[in-house]
Structure 1
Amino acid sequence: MSKVNIKHLLAYALVAFFIVGSIGNFMGPQKILEEYARWGYPSWFHLVTGSLELISAILIAIVATRFVGSILASCIMLSAALTVIYHGEYTHAIAPLVVLILLLLSIYLHRK
């Protein structure tokens, strides 16, 4: 039986999270479009977010680019948290802040 490597398991869980997030943003269901509009973003901004999330997922999936992907993903999550906090939606900041902490943990575990 092989040992499960927690740092790789965490990285792949983050990859899955960002793939799901990118799909949700690319599909642009009405709820997501309304949220972006409420926050003052242009109608096409969900596509930018989806693209950045997909790029992050791909970069995190590759060990050689994991650090860069994790930094990009951290910027996305920090931006998401700051957006909802700025608009007074404090409970909506919990998920991006938790993911940000997991990203920072992954960066720490993958350090050389």
Structure 2
Amino acid sequence: MSKISWRRVLPFVLAAFFVVGSVSNLLAPAPIYEEYLKWGYPRWFHFVTGSLELGAAILLVRVPSRLLGSALGCAIMLGALATVIVHGEYGHAVPPLVVATLSLVVGWTSWRMRTANPITDQDP
């Protein structure tokens, strides 16, 4: 059995996370919709968040766009982190902090691969 590298798996795990988040935000069941309103965002803002999350997921799947996907994913999660901290919902701060950190790890490994192999831009 071949050894599977976390460097190859982690981007897909993050992409799956962002797909689930995207669907949740685009469909916006009542609890999610009400949270956006409670935080002072416009009624349509859940569509923006869901679309950005879907974009991050798509970018994370392909090696050439992975660095951009990890940057977008990290920015989304830092926005979520800032929102819950500003509103004193510290218990909700852990998931965005973890996902932002994992996005940074994926971005860092993508950057390292890109600088180590700038011509082909492929996974080892």
Matches within 5 A, 1:20-39: 20-39=20-39
CA distance in 1, matches of 2:105, 2:59: 16
Match of 2:84 in 1: 84
CA distance in 2, matches of 1:56, 1:50: 10
So what's the TM-score if we normalise by structure 2? Answer: 0.88
Shift of the alpha carbon at 1:109? 2.0
Shift of the alpha carbon at 1:8? 1.2
CA distance in 1, matches of 2:42, 2:87: 16
Match of 2:2 in 1: 2
Match of 1:13 in 2: 13
Unaligned runs of 5+ in 2: 114-124
Aligned AA for 2:56? Answer: S
Match of 1:98 in 2: 98
Which structure is larger by alpha-carbon Rg, 1 or 2?
Answer: 2
Matches within 5 A, 1:42-61: 42-61=42-61
Q: Report Cα offsets for 1:42-65 as digits up to 9, x if no partner.
A: 111000000000000000001000
RMSD: 0.8
3-state DSSP class of the match of 2:93? Answer: helix
3-state DSSP class of the match of 2:40? Answer: coil
CA distance in 2, matches of 1:62, 1:73: 14
Aligned AA for 1:7? Answer: R
Using the TM superposition, name which of 102-111 and 38-47 deviates more: 102-111
CA distance in 2, matches of 1:95, 1:70: 16
Aligned AA for 1:62? Answer: R
Unaligned runs of 5+ in 1: none
Count of aligned positions:
112
